[in-house]
Amino acid sequence: MSPTLIFLLAMSLFAVNNGNPNIELKIGVILDMDSNVGKMSKTCISMAIRDFYRKHHNYTTIIHPYYRDSKQDNVQAASAALDLMKNIQVTAIIGPMTSSQADFVIDLGNKDKVPVISPAASPSLSPYNNHYFIRSAHNSTLQLKPITELIKHFRWSEVVFMYEDGEYGRGLVPYLSDDMMNIGTKVTYQTVIYPSASDDWILAELYKLKTMQTRVFVVHALPDLASRLFKKVNEVGMMDEGYVWIITEGLTNQLHYLDHKEDLMQGVIGVKSHIPNSGELFDFKRRWKREFRSLYPDDDVTALDTSGIRLYDTVFGLAMALEKIQKEKGDSTTDSDGSGALKRGSRLLQSIRNFRFNGLSGDFNVINGQLQSSVYEIVNIIGNGEKTIGFWSPEIDGISKKLSNETKGLKKVTWPGESDVVPKGWEIPVSNKNMLRVGVRVGGFDQFIDEHIDPETGQITMTGFCVDVFNAVVDELPYAFKFEFVPFVTSDGKKPAGSYDDLVFNLSAGGYDAVAGDITILAHRSDRVAFTLPYTEAGVSLVVPIKDERKSAWIFLKPFENELWITTGAFFIYTGIVVWVIEHRVNEEFRGAPHKQVGMLLWFSFSTLVYAHREKLISNLSRFVVIVWVFVVLVLTSSYTASLTSMLTVQKLQPTYTDINEIKRNGESIGYQDGSFVRDMLIRMGFNDTQLKGYSTFEQYHDALELGSQNGGVSAIMEELPYIRVFVAKYCNMYTMRGPIHKTAGFGFAFPVGSPLVHDVSKAILQVTEKQMMNITNHWFREDASCDQKNGPQMKTDGLGHDSFKGVFLIAGLSSTSALVIFVLRFLYQNREMLVSQDHSVSQKLLVMAKTFDVLRDNKSKTSIPKAAVHVESHNNNSPVISVFHQEAEVFSQDEGFSSIQPGSPLVLDTIQVVQTITN
C-alpha cells in the first residue's frame, strides 16, 4: 500500500474519531507513469497532499487522487480523462504534462465543465480561449524575452532556430521570429527535427548548417531528441570555439535526463525559471529524494526540477480552493459521498482561476487561469555542472548579474571550446585553406592597387593605397579575419578579366568572398552585393589642360572685367558731356563746329585718364566735376596697374575648357579609365562612342591630353576625384579639374548580400578614417602632394569687377549729376520770363532756349543787345509791347562766366524777355 493511501486512511480514522468526518474530493491525475517526468510528478503530488493536510489537519475537505497513465499517447490521455470525468466524476484534473496530450483533455474539460490544471506551455493552448484550462506554468513564449535580451546583449545579428516537430516545438516558431525582428536579428534558417528522425538525417542537417555563416543556434527540444542532437553536434565539431548554443526552458529544466550529459554540452547557455532558495525548499528536496527512492527503488534517483516544485504548489493551491468553496457551500448541503462533482467543478473554477500564495516556487500567482511571469535565470552549462550568469525579469531593463538594475550584463561565460572570447556569431564559410578570397582588380593606377609576383616562388603580393586601407580596417576588427588577395585577371595574368562591374557580379555569383580595391559604390551594383561605408571622397569631374595666360596678346584687358570696362567708358563719356554743357556758354574752347565740339568732348574726358587735358575751365561747377572724376580715374588706374602687374609677374594658368558641353558640341574626344562606370555616364550625357577613349595609366592620360583631339588624343579626361587629385598633383602646372562635380558614393569594400561583415567592416572604416587615413594617404601620395603645394598651378583669378568700384562710381555719378542739375536750374531761372510767357508755343520756347544756350556769353561786352532779339508787338488799346530777350544782369566774377554791371558798360539782353506796357 502506498504512503499516500496509508496517510489518507489515517486522516479519515482521525476525523471519524473526532466526530468530524472529512469530505473526500475526487481529483484526477493524468501522467506518463513510466517516464522520468511522470514518476517525479507523482512523487511531488503525493508529498504535496500529505504535507498540506499535515499542516491543515482541521480542514473539512481532503483530496483523494485518482491516477491514470497516459502511456505517452494522446488518445490514451483523452480516454483516461473521459474515464475520470464520467465514471469517477472527479472535481478537477491535474495533468497531462505535455501540450499535445493536454490539447485533447482540455477540450473534454470544456465540454464537461471540469477544470483541467496542466503545465502545458504551448502558446496555442490559451486559458483565455479555454475557460476550464488553468496553466500552472509560464507560457512558453515568455522565455523568449530572456533569450532575446541575451542575443541583443551580445549583438548577434543572425540565429538559426532548431525545434522538435510537434505541438511542443511548432507553437514557438512565429513568436521567436517576431521577437528577433524587433531587435534587428534575423532568423536565417529554421530546422525542424522529427522525433523519429534518424541519426544520419540529423548528421546531414548539421553538416548543411555548418556550411552556412550563422553560428548562433537556439534549440527547442525535449530531452530524448536533444540527447541525440547534441551527440551529433559534437561529432561534426560544432561544439567548438566560435559556436553559440542556447537551449530553452523545457530542456534546461530536464538536463539531468540527458544521456552522458558531461560529454554533450560544453559552454551551452540555457534559460529557466528562477526558484528562490529557502530552508523549506532545501528540506523538501531532501525528503523528495528519500520518497522517490522508496517508491522507485530500481530507478536511478533523478533530479527535482521546476515543474515538480510547481506541481507541489499547484496541489496546495487546489486544496485551499476546495476548502474555500466547501465553506461557502455549507455542511448541510454537502454530499459526503463526493457526488455533485459537476456543480463543485463550476464553483471551483472561479477560485482556482485567480489565486495567489507563497509556495516553494516563490510567488505563485494565477490570474485568469495563467501563472504570471516571474524571474528567469540564465545559466552556463559546462558538462555536468551549471552556473548562474544572469537574471531577467519584467522589472529589469535588460539582463543583470544580480536581481537588481544596478548590475547590468552577465557574469563571465565559458563558451564552447572552453573559450573566454565572445563568439561574433557568424563565420564566412570558405573552402580554400580556411581563408577568405578577396578579389581585386589590377591593371589600373599603381598608386591605388598594384600586383607584384615573386619570380622564384610565384607568390603574389598586393600593394597600394586601397590595399593598405583594407589591411588597416581588418586590423581594427575585434576578431581574427584571415584572407588572401586574389587578382581578377585573365588566365595568362596579363590584363584584367573584365570591368569593375564584372568583378562585382563575380562576387555575387560566389567567385569571391569579398572584393577590395578602388570599387565605386553604385546603385546597380548594390542590387547584387552589399557595400561598406565609403573610405574616400566621392564624385566625378573633368580634367583639362591649362595654359599660361601671360602669353596672351590681350592680357592688358584682363585686369578689368567686361562690365567694368563698359561702366568706366560710360562714365568717361558722361563726365565729358557734363563738363561740355557747363562750359559751352562761357568757354570758347568748348565751342565751334559740331564735329569739333564732339571731338573736344571725347578728348577732354578721356585725356583725364593720363592727366593730359590742357583746356582751361571757367565754371566752378565743371571744376568740381573734374576734380572728383580725376580722383576716380586715379583709383581706377592704380587698381588696373596693380592687377596687370600681378598678372605679368605671377604665373596665371587658365583651363582650355570650362564646360564639358563645349567638348561635346565641338565633337572632340574625351578620355576615361578602362573598365570604369564613367564610360556609361558619358554616353548618358550624349557623347558618341567615337568620342570616347579608354586608358589605364596616368602616363596614358598625360600623353593623350598633350596630343589633343586633333592629333589622335583627347581634349579632356572624365575621372573620379581620388584619381584626379593624384593625377593633377603628379603633373604640376599642366592640368586642372574643371566643371561641376557629379556626385557618387566613393570607394567601398563589397561583400555578399546579407554578410554580417558589412557592419563590422564599416565601423572599422570609421575608426581607420579617424586615426590612420592621413598617414596612409601621405605614404602613397606625399611626393605628389608636395609638388602640388610648391609648384602647383595657381589658377586664374577673375579680373576686377564693377562691384569693387561701386563706391567711387557712385561718388562720381552724384557729383556730375548734381553739377548738371545746378547748372540747368540756374539757366532756367535766368530765362524764367520766357518760360512763363503765354505768347509763344512750347516749340518756340524750346527753340529760343536752345539759341540762347548756344550764344557765347562775352565777358567783355555784356550790355549789347542784339537787334534780332528785340521786337515790338501791338496789342489791345494800341499799347505797344516791347519784348526783349536779354540776359539778367547779375554780378559774377569773370572766372565763373559772369560779370558785374558797371557804369558805361554795354548791357547784353539776349535771353530774358522784358515786357513793358505803355498806357495812354
Which of the pair, 220 or 492, is modelled with greater confidence? 220
The residue among 591 and 195 whose pLDDT is bigger is: 195
Query: Is 218 within 8 Å of 159 (Cβ atoms)?
Result: yes
More confident residue, 821 or 556: 821
pLDDT at 593: 77
pLDDT of residue 555: 67
pLDDT confidence of residue 767: 93
CA distance 240 to 238: 5
pLDDT of residue 193: 93
Kindly tell me if the per-residue pLDDT of 32 is higher than 50. yes
* pLDDT at position 439 over 80: yes
Rounded distance between C-alpha atoms, residue 641 and residue 648, angstroms? 11
Q: What is the DSSP letter of 739?
A: E
**Among 15, 119, 109, 112, which Cα is nearest to 62's?**
15
Per-residue pLDDT reduced to its tens digit, 722-763? 888 888 888 877 888 887 888 888 999 999 888 888 888 999
pLDDT band, very low/low/confident/very high, at 3 (cuts 50, 70, 90) = low
pLDDT digit string (tens) for 452-473? 887 777 788 899 999 999 999 9
Q: Where are the alpha helices (DSSP H) in 382-464?
A: none
The winner for highest mean pLDDT among 335-339, 609-613, 649-653, 662-666 is: 662-666
Cell 558589412 belongs to which residue? 758
| Mean pLDDT, residues 477-491 | 84
Residue 96 or 336, more confident: 96
Helices assigned H by DSSP within 18-164: 36-55, 74-82, 99-112, 144-154
Task: Say if CB 46 and CB 291 are below 8 A apart.
Answer: yes
pLDDT, mean over the chain: 80
Summarised one tens digit per residue, pLDDT across range 83-128 is: 999 999 999 999 899 888 999 999 999 998 999 999 988 888 889 8
Tell me the pLDDT tens digit for each residue of 158-216.
999 999 988 788 888 888 889 999 998 989 899 999 988 999 999 999 998 988 888 99
Q: How far apart are CA 864 and CA 799, in angstroms?
A: 58
Percent of the chain with pLDDT over 90: 28
Output the pLDDT for position 651: 53
Ramachandran region of residue 221, left (φ > 0), alpha (ψ -120 to 50) or beta? Answer: beta
Query: Does pLDDT of 917 surpass 50?
Result: no
Residue 71 is given by DSSP the state T
- Stretch 673-700: mean pLDDT, rounded? 90
Q: What is the pLDDT of residues 836-894, one digit of tens each?
A: 777 778 787 788 777 777 777 655 444 333 433 434 343 444 433 334 333 333 333 33
Statement: residue 76 has pLDDT above 70: yes
Q: What is the DSSP string of 177-220?
A: HHHHHHTT-EEEEEEEE-TT--HHHHHHHHHHHHTSSB-EEEEE
Residue 27: the pLDDT is 93
| Torsion 772-777-778-780 (CA) sign | positive
Spatial CB neighbours of 183, under 8 Å, sequence gap ≥ 6: 148, 151, 152
The rounded distance, in Å, linking the Cα atoms of 754 and 89 is 60
Which is nearest to 119 in space by CA: 257, 286, 358, 312? 312
| pLDDT reported for residue 603 | 75
pLDDT at 779 > cutoff 60: yes
How buried is residue 516: exposed, middle or buried, by Cβ count under 10 Å (0-12/13-18/19+)?
A: buried
Give dist(CA 883, CA 367) in Å, integer: 125
pLDDT at 514 over 70: yes
- Judge whether 357 and 320 are in contact, CB under 8 Å: yes
pTM: 0.62
Helix (H) or strand (E) holding 789: helix 773-791
State mean pLDDT over 777-796: 58
Tens digits of residue pLDDT in 135-146: 999 888 899 999
What mean pLDDT is predicted for residues 905-914? 40
Count of CA atoms in the C-beta half-sphere (13 A) of 89: 9
The mean pLDDT value for 263-267 works out to 84
Residue 331 confidence (pLDDT): 46
194: nearest Cα among 162, 172, 231, 241: 162
Q: Is the pLDDT of residue 290 over 70?
A: yes
Burial-class residue 196 by CB neighbours within 10 Å (0-12, 13-18, 19+). Answer: exposed
pLDDT of residue 920: 35
